[in-house]
Amino acid sequence: MKVINTKVLLNNLLEIYSLLFVLFLTNSCSTTLRKEINSAFEKTKRIEILAYIDRNQWDEEDNSNYSKLNYIKNGNLEINKKYLKNRIILNEEQIEILKKRLSKCEIENWGAKCYNPRHAILFYDKNDKIYGYIEMCFDCNGSESSENFKAFSGCALGLKETLKEFGITYFNEGK
């Protein structure tokens, strides 16, 4: 008769249960993320991507509170054109690509202390008002977003190559 080492058996079972728990959590989180993204995109009628000079280089009157995004007012974009380097409105195919890539992301928002954003994704509703945004700093891997996009704002940090595919050419240049 074979003797079963209960300690080894318990350790093996514990490892298996731990692995299953992690897999369950991962699947649960990704399902929740996909639901958040699907909900946001259902409301979205237009998406615009901006590339602009680092906000800390803007004139004081255009950026009095650097730590707070202030170029979206009452659902409208109010940015001095002298700061814009690229401005692209996505077509339907690009919107689907963006949605798919956001849905497959791993949250990357582990940013450094700097925050020098040069890019934003603006989401417009059926009334052509901005109802959400994600602003990104690819240099320090940080992002900020409207409250309704917080769940997946870190996902946008993995989109640098996607933005290039869409035609954004400005990334880390000076004024």
Per-residue pLDDT of the chain (175 residues; tens, 9 = 90+): 566 677 766 666 566 655 544 444 344 346 777 888 888 899 999 999 999 998 888 888 888 776 678 899 999 999 999 999 999 999 999 999 999 998 887 655 555 667 788 999 999 999 999 999 999 988 888 888 999 988 888 888 889 999 999 999 998 765 4
Which residues have C-beta within 8 Å of that of residue 53, sequence separation ≥ 6? 83, 85, 118, 174, 175
Residue 2 DSSP one-character state: P
What are the sequence ranges of the domains in the chain?
A: 6-166
pTM of the model: 0.78
